[in-house]
């Protein structure tokens, strides 16, 4: 055996987080994480769980009883949604040419579902007519939709219309609200979605690890009436409901500190007011969008589908996307991200989420980005001057 490793105390570098997540965490959330642990069945902790449920219902805009936090990141809430709602042999309608739809499809297949692919073009939202056509042609029991596409910066409109089509055929709808909850309008009850899930580290600005999920009574009835048990014991919502519901039966040791953090982050959202919070994201990200457009850069999303929490900006010809990202990190301690999948090398992904969605951050980002572009031989000022003279 070697000697004990000599590793110093953790001192992470100072970063401004403007990528697709995690976003920056409010000092009050960090303070909440610094408070003493309680046992996961201590009555005082059970009260914390009740408060988290109440705050989550407010944030999701729902009265769903089964609203809780899954232990794990957003993908665990995604897998809990799919793994519980989909039974072997059921048809699951998804777009399979987008990053998150592909992940949902992989999970649906592992749950024994038969994936039906929507023909949605890459870089487009799902069209209601496509969903209608799919129902006319195939046996579909569950539909999965990503409300806020972190890969393209496109917001899925017409959520309620898609739900109406699915419900007309007695199917169920799962909505991925990972990059929208707490930053962009999410209306679970108004849309009528059966299951919605999210993550803590995006517009809620809590650390990753406790992921919101809300399940309608109708969906819970389907889950409780399953012929086969869900393949995952850890993510079995009927068992989790026994811990989060009245029985308070031990299921697993909850990530206490992470739930404290989520509670404080949700409290901040409630104090701000959910509508005011959506408006702040719109305004602050609007300045970011106007700033990059003034440099002659183009947004990936058309204005009517723009997602304030995730600004996908097209990389201009002749500019090395990776060099810009590295310069921002090395010279400014500022994080943004590259494109994924088919959009790799084509876009930058600039988050404007939660506590990171502040004017100060946007001004810093725009100045740093202009510098990085100049280093790449692109003149952001000339573009701005040309844009001004066009007006």
- Give residues in contact with ligand PLP (CB under 6 A): 20-21, 73-75, 78, 100, 146, 150, 176, 178-179, 199, 208
Nearest approach, Cβ of residue 6 and ligand PLP (Å):
33
State the minimum distance, in angstroms, from the CB of residue 17 to ligand PLP. 13
Give least dist CB 104 to ligand PLP, A.
Answer: 9
Q: Burial, 14: exposed, middle or buried (Cβ in 10 Å; 0-12, 13-18, 19+)?
A: exposed
Q: Which is nearer to ligand PLP, 174 or 370 (CB)?
A: 174
Give the closest residue to 159 by CA, choosing from 145, 169, 171, 172: 145
- Burial (0-12, 13-18, 19+ Cβ within 10 Å), 333: middle
Q: How far is the CB of 367 from ligand PLP (least distance, A)?
A: 27
The b/e string for 101-135 (b: 16+ C-beta within 10 A; e otherwise) is: bbbbbebbeebebbbbbbebeebebbbeebbeebb
Comparing CB distances to ligand PLP, the nearer of 291 and 308 is: 308
β-pairing, 91-95 vs 334-335, is unpaired
- Torsion 78-218-95-126 (CA) sign: negative
Q: Which is nearer to ligand PLP, 56 or 370 (CB)?
A: 56
In the complex, the smallest distance separating the C-beta of residue 158 from ligand PLP, rounded to whole angstroms, is: 18
Q: Which residue is nearest to ligand PLP (CB)?
A: 74
Q: CB count, 10 Å around CB of 59?
A: 25
For residue 331, the minimal CB distance to ligand PLP (Å) is: 26
- Opening angle at CA 197, ends 193 and 200, nearest 5: 150
DSSP 149: E
* Encoded tokens for 155: 């917001």
Taking the least distance from each CB to ligand PLP, the nearer of 147 and 327 is 147
Give me 136's structure tokens: 């006319």
Residue among 74 and 380 whose Cβ is closer to ligand PLP: 74
Q: Which is nearer to ligand PLP, 64 or 73 (CB)?
A: 73
Tokens 């040419």 correspond to what residue?
97
> Is 253:95 a contact under the CB 8 Å cutoff?
no
Contact between 263 and 52 (Cβ < 8 Å):
yes
Residue closer to ligand PLP (CB basis): 100 or 244: 100
Nearer CB in complex with ligand PLP: 33/340: 340
Collapse the DSSP code of 138 into the 3-class scheme (helix H, G, I; strand E, B; otherwise coil) and give the result.
coil
Cβ proximity to ligand PLP, 22 vs 91, nearer residue:
22
Q: What distance in Å separates the CA atoms of residue 263 and residue 266, rounded to the nearest whole number?
A: 5
**Minimum CB distance to ligand PLP, residue 142 (Å):** 17
CB of residue 355 vs ligand PLP: minimum separation in angstroms? 17
Strands (E) located in 41-97: 66-71, 91-95
Q: State in angstroms the smallest separation of the CB of 120 from ligand PLP.
A: 15
Pick between residue 78 and residue 373 the one whose CB is nearest to ligand PLP.
78
CA distance 252 to 153: 36
Q: Nearest distance from residue 148's CB to ligand PLP, in Å?
A: 6
Side-chain half-sphere CA neighbours of 376 within 13 A: 22
Task: Pinpoint the alpha helices (H) of 96-187.
Answer: 99-110, 128-137, 159-168
């Amino acid at each position: 055996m070697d000697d004990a490793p000599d590793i110093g105390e953790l001192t992470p570098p100072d970063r401004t987080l403007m990528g697709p997540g995690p976003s920056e965490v409010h000092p009050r959330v960090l303070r909440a994480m610094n408070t003493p642990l309680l046992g996961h069945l201590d009555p005082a902790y059970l009260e914390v769980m009740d408060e988290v449920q109440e705050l989550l219902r407010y944030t999701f805009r729902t009265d769903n009883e089964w609203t809780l936090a899954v232990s794990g990141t957003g993908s665990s809430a995604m897998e809990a949604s799919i793994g519980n709602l989909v039974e072997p042999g059921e048809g699951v309608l998804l777009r399979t040419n987008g990053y998150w739809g592909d992940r949902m499809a992989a999970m649906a297949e592992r749950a024994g579902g038969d994936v039906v692919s929507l023909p949605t073009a890459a870089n487009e939202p799902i069209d209601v007519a496509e969903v209608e056509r799919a129902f006319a042609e195939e046996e579909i029991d569950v539909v999965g939709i990503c409300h806020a596409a972190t890969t393209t910066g496109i917001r899925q409109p017409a959520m309620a219309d898609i739900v109406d089509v699915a419900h007309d055929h007695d199917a169920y709808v799962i909505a991925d609200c990972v990059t929208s909850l707490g930053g962009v309008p999410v209306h679970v009850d108004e849309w009528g979605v059966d299951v919605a899930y999210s993550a803590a580290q995006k517009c809620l600005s809590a650390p990753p690890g406790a992921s919101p999920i809300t399940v309608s009574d109708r969906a819970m009835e389907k889950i409780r009436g399953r012929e086969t048990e869900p393949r995952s014991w850890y993510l079995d919502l009927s068992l989790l409901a026994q811990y989060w519901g009245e029985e308070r039966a031990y299921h697993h040791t909850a990530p206490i500190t992470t739930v404290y953090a989520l509670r404080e982050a949700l409290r901040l959202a409630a104090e701000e007011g959910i509508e005011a919070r959506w408006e702040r994201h719109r305004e602050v990200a609007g300045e970011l969008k106007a700033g990059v457009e003034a440099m002659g850069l183009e947004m990936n999303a058309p204005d009517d589908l723009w997602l304030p929490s995730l600004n996908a900006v097209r990389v201009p010809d002749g500019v090395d996307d990776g060099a810009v990202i590295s310069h921002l990190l090395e010279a400014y301690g500022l994080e943004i991200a590259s494109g994924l999948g088919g959009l790799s090398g084509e876009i930058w992904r600039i988050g404007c989420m939660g506590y990171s969605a502040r004017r100060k951050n946007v001004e810093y980002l725009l100045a740093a980005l202009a510098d990085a572009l100049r280093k790449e031989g692109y003149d952001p000022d000339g573009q701005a001057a040309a844009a001004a003279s066009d007006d």
